[in-house]
């Protein structure tokens, strides 16, 4: 292949070179990542990451179902009461009113999809198969809303009984009316009750025609056009005797949103009952405790990464699903960038992987900061073996991995105990949530902080009953930890000794002395008062009662547990194999500015598409790049107004290089209709992204809107 000739020109220009493509052996992994097969343990890391990814997905759905179970069951009972009991004495609404459930879900809109999916499955399994869910973007007019309801309902009806007659088939759009739905419902409802004999046994003959209510779920109630909602409710209210409608409003703000969007004449047609789901902060606490604070989950996050994810949660969208996506992205980045993450798995698998480490990975272990600190603490002879003998390093790695797993199993129970002791203290010196305490523990020595000293001072003035109750909570936590039985035994011994003490006075049990009555009437200055109080404090410490002595021993015991088990994670050897700490990369990927990301993608498509043919030198344009990237780079060379014909000529010049056609040949200046269409589409995409706009100042020109690169 001949070298590319040097080019020179008096005027500024754009020179196009056809880049040679180099193929590498890659395959797409979890989350769209490209896995390089040339790495010695890439496939093993991919399998471990995929397994952990599935674990996160499954556990998240289980946690979501557990947290939403109460409100979903309440909704199911509400629908059963109003749908199956229309002829009973419990029916207290007027015949023209439609039962409506206002489901308060909070502002964490991305989490609503999973909640509505669970709700639909629950209702279809236990109450009625006729459940419809609609979005505001799909219902720009009343006819589209009615059409969407009929389409979903009639598809359900066909799936219930495949051999149905022609009168239950989906009508044309011109026939999509509530009257058509009534005729369809009379035919299908009887067949559905025959398909479900269990529902038939639970219903009387008079209830059978109304035993299958039609549930319409408005997923984003605030986003609907108020006029469309009003018209739809008015239409449905006229068919309440024929169709047992039940509405569910998914509301993100407050119940007053119904009053703001529906006038009294319309809202009076609804029999509304409000249901509240758990707050997103409670949901996050459950996810954090069961996923991150879990010794069975080998992948861990550093303190700064946790702060980034929690910060995005608190200051952006309150979405737990996006928090879990951030956790999954951290996992992908860790297994993609850390070759030693092959050891980030369960204990037995990690020990097996440590035995079969390659020479390259053994050398990588020697360069880990935590392992280097470990080597410095060893004897000189041991240091020589760790730096020269690969087999000895493998044996030591197995021991260190065992200690790392042991550290995690001991860390989390003690962390929960400390949180249960300090979460009820005034002003929450160590944080209200356990994640705040966890962040403090893994980034520094907790016992060296002022907050920890303040917490111990508050614990030293606890009354007897409060202290016993707090220690009992700790004992319940430690019962599930097999390795902490000795600690549990000592804790139960303290509880028994505290309960055996005779009742003490409120002054003694609180540990606070009171000022004598004489001092209340003595006239003295501030210095004299301070001196007297200090003397009383010194005399009080000299003669502590039995409860105070025992309470002091309990606090010292808790302090010893903190110093022994809650050491920072980065001090543990080989902590890098399971802890992800690249908070800067995470912040750059998850909390980005849209314009900068778009400009970077259009200017450097290689970093997004990972295609070797897109690698170019600065100032050049690859003919293999997407049309949008080519048009974007060409528009950077233009001024405020861009001539479309000149822009098209430059685009054709770039594209001709891909076909091995010289720009000086006769065909170089020509272009076919396909290139013309591709150029017009790329310019339309540029206008959609906000880089250019049409202008009336000059014919066949567009105005440039952005200046400056990324």
Cβ atoms of 156 and 129 closer than 8 Å: yes
CA neighbor of 327 nearest in space, from 301, 345, 293, 346: 301
Angle at 77 between CA 223 and CA 57, to 5 degrees: 60
Residue 533, both tokens:
């109080």
Looking at per-residue confidence, does 650 or 520 come out higher? Answer: 650
CA dihedral 559, 565, 571, 575 (to 10 degrees): -150
Q: Binning pLDDT at 50, 70 and 90, where does residue 84 land?
A: low
What pLDDT, in 10s, does the model give residues 370-395?
999 999 999 999 999 999 999 999 99
The answer to whether residue 24 scores a pLDDT higher than 80 is no
pLDDT at 659: 63
pLDDT at 447: 94
Q: Residues 6 or more apart from 153 whose CB is under 8 A from it?
A: 130, 132, 181, 184, 214
What pLDDT, in 10s, does the model give residues 560-613?
999 999 999 989 999 999 999 999 999 888 887 788 888 888 888 888 888 877
pLDDT at 517: 38
Looking at per-residue confidence, does 604 or 40 come out higher? Answer: 604
Q: Residues 6 or more apart from 374 whose CB is under 8 A from it?
A: 400, 573
The least confident of 275-284, 607-616, 675-684 is 607-616
Residue written as token pair 């909704």: 75
Cβ atoms of 686 and 692 closer than 8 Å: yes
Looking at per-residue confidence, does 46 or 606 come out higher? Answer: 46
Please state, in angstroms and as integers, the Cα–Cα distance from residue 155 to each residue in 161, 476, 674, following that order: 10, 52, 41
Q: Which residues pair with 131 in a beta bridge?
A: 215
What pLDDT, in 10s, does the model give residues 181-239?
888 888 887 666 554 444 444 444 444 444 689 999 999 999 999 999 999 999 999 98
The answer to whether residue 25 scores a pLDDT higher than 80 is no
Residues 422, 191: Cα–Cα separation, whole Å: 60
pLDDT at 470: 93
Q: What is the mean pLDDT of residues 421-445?
A: 90
Residue 317, both tokens:
């969208």
Residue 1, both tokens:
């292949």
Cβ atoms of 532 and 520 closer than 8 Å: no
Q: Residues 6 or more apart from 19 whose CB is under 8 A from it?
A: 613, 614, 615, 616, 622, 623, 624
Residues 672, 540: Cα–Cα separation, whole Å: 99
Cβ atoms of 245 and 236 closer than 8 Å: yes
pLDDT at 190: 66
**How much of the chain exceeds pLDDT 90, in percent?**
50
pLDDT at 525: 66
Which strands, in side-by-side order, build the sheet including 270-276?
Answer: 131-134, 214-218, 245-251, 98-104, 270-276
What pLDDT, in 10s, does the model give residues 627-648?
899 999 999 888 889 999 999 9
CA neighbor of 184 nearest in space, from 196, 197, 175: 175
Coil, helix or strand at residue 132: strand
pLDDT at 58: 92
The answer to whether residue 466 scores a pLDDT higher than 70 is yes
What pLDDT, in 10s, does the model give residues 654-680?
888 766 554 444 454 456 788 889 999
Looking at per-residue confidence, does 166 or 390 come out higher? Answer: 390
What pLDDT, in 10s, does the model give residues 134-151?
999 999 999 899 999 998
Q: What is the mean pLDDT of residues 250-267?
A: 92
The answer to whether residue 407 scores a pLDDT higher than 80 is yes
Residue 227, both tokens:
């006029």
Looking at per-residue confidence, does 663 or 100 come out higher? Answer: 100
Residue 402, both tokens:
């065992």
The neighbour count for residue 678, using CB atoms within 10 Å, is 18
Q: Binning pLDDT at 50, 70 and 90, where does residue 539 land?
A: low
Q: What is the mean pLDDT of residues 88-102?
A: 68
Helix (H) or strand (E) segment spanning residue 336: helix 320-337
Cβ atoms of 393 and 439 closer than 8 Å: no
Q: Binning pLDDT at 50, 70 and 90, where does residue 20 land?
A: very low
**How much of the chain exceeds pLDDT 70, in percent?**
79
Q: Binning pLDDT at 50, 70 and 90, where does residue 504 land?
A: very low
pTM of the model: 0.75
pLDDT at 526: 67
Q: Binning pLDDT at 50, 70 and 90, where does residue 94 land?
A: low
Looking at per-residue confidence, does 204 or 359 come out higher? Answer: 359
The answer to whether residue 618 scores a pLDDT higher than 50 is yes
């Amino acid at each position: 292949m001949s070298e590319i000739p040097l080019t020179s020109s008096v005027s500024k220009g754009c020179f196009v070179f056809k880049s040679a493509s180099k193929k590498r052996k890659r395959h797409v992994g979890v989350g769209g990542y490209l896995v390089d097969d040339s790495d010695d343990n890439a496939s093993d890391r991919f399998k471990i990451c995929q397994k952990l990814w599935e674990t996160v997905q499954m556990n998240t759905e289980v946690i979501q179902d557990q947290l939403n179970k109460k409100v979903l069951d309440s909704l199911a009972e509400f629908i059963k009461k109003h749908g199956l009991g229309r002829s009973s004495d419990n029916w207290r609404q007027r015949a023209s009113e439609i039962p409506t459930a206002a489901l308060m879900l909070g502002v964490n809109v991305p989490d609503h999809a999973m909640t509505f999916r669970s709700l639909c499955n629950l209702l279809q399994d236990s109450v009625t198969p006729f459940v419809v869910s609609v979005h505001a973007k799909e219902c720009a007019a009343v006819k589209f809303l009615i059409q969407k309801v009929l389409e979903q309902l009639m598809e359900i009806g066909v799936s219930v009984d495949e051999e149905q007659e022609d009168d239950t088939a989906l009508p044309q759009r011109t026939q999509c009316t509530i009257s058509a739905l009534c005729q369809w419902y009379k035919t299908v409802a009887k067949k559905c009750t025959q398909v479900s004999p269990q529902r038939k046994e639970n219903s009387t003959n008079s209830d059978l025609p109304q035993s299958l209510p039609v549930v319409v779920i408005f997923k984003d109630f605030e986003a609907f056009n108020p006029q469309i909602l009003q018209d739809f409710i008015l239409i449905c209210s006229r068919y309440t005797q024929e169709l047992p409608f039940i509405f569910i409003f998914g509301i993100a703000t407050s119940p007053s949103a119904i009053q703001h969007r529906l006038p009294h004449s319309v809202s009076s047609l609804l029999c509304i009952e409000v249901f509240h789901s758990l707050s997103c902060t409670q949901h996050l606490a459950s996810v954090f405790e069961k996923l991150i604070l879990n010794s069975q989950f080998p992948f861990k996050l550093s303190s700064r990464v946790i702060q980034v994810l929690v910060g995005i949660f608190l200051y952006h969208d309150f979405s737990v699903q996006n928090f879990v996506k951030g956790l999954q992205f951290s996992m992908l980045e860790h297994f993609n960038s850390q070759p030693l993450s092959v050891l980030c798995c369960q204990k037995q698998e990690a020990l097996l992987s440590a035995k079969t480490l390659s020479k390259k990975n053994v050398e990588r272990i020697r360069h880990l900061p935590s392992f280097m600190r470990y080597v410095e603490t060893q004897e000189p002879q041991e240091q020589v073996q760790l730096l020269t003998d690969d087999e000895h390093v493998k044996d030591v790695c197995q021991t260190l991995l065992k200690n790392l797993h042991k550290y995690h199993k001991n860390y989390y129970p003690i962390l929960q105990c400390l949180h249960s002791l300090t979460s009820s203290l005034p002003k929450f010196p160590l944080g209200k949530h356990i994640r705040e305490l966890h962040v403090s523990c893994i980034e520094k020595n907790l016992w060296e902080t002022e907050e920890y000293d303040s917490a111990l001072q508050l614990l030293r003035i606890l009354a007897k009953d409060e202290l016993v109750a707090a220690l009992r909570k700790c004992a319940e936590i430690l019962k599930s930890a097999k390795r902490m039985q000795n600690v549990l035994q000592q804790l139960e011994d303290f509880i028994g000794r505290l309960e055996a003490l005779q009742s003490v006075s409120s002054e003694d049990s609180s540990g606070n002395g009171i000022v004598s009555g004489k001092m209340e009437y003595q006239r003295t200055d501030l210095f004299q008062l301070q001196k007297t109080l200090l003397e009383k404090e010194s005399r009080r410490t000299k003669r502590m009662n039995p409860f105070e002595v025992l309470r002091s021993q309990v606090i010292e015991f808790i302090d010893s547990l903190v110093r022994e088990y809650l050491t920072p994670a980065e001090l543990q050897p080989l902590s890098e194999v399971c802890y992800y700490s690249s908070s800067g990369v995470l912040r750059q990927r998850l909390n980005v500015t849209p314009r900068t990301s778009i400009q970077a993608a259009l200017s450097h498509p290689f970093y997004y598409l990972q295609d070797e043919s897109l690698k170019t030198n600065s100032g050049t344009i690859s003919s293999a790049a997407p049309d949008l990237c080519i048009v974007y780079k060409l528009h950077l060379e233009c001024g405020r107004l861009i001539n479309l014909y000149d822009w098209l000529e430059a685009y054709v010049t770039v594209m001709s290089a891909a076909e091995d056609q010289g720009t000086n040949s006769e065909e170089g200046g020509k272009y076919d209709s396909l290139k013309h269409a591709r150029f017009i589409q790329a310019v339309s995409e540029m206008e959609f992204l906000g880089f250019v706009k049409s202008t009336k100042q000059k014919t066949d020109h567009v105005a440039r809107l952005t200046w400056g690169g990324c």
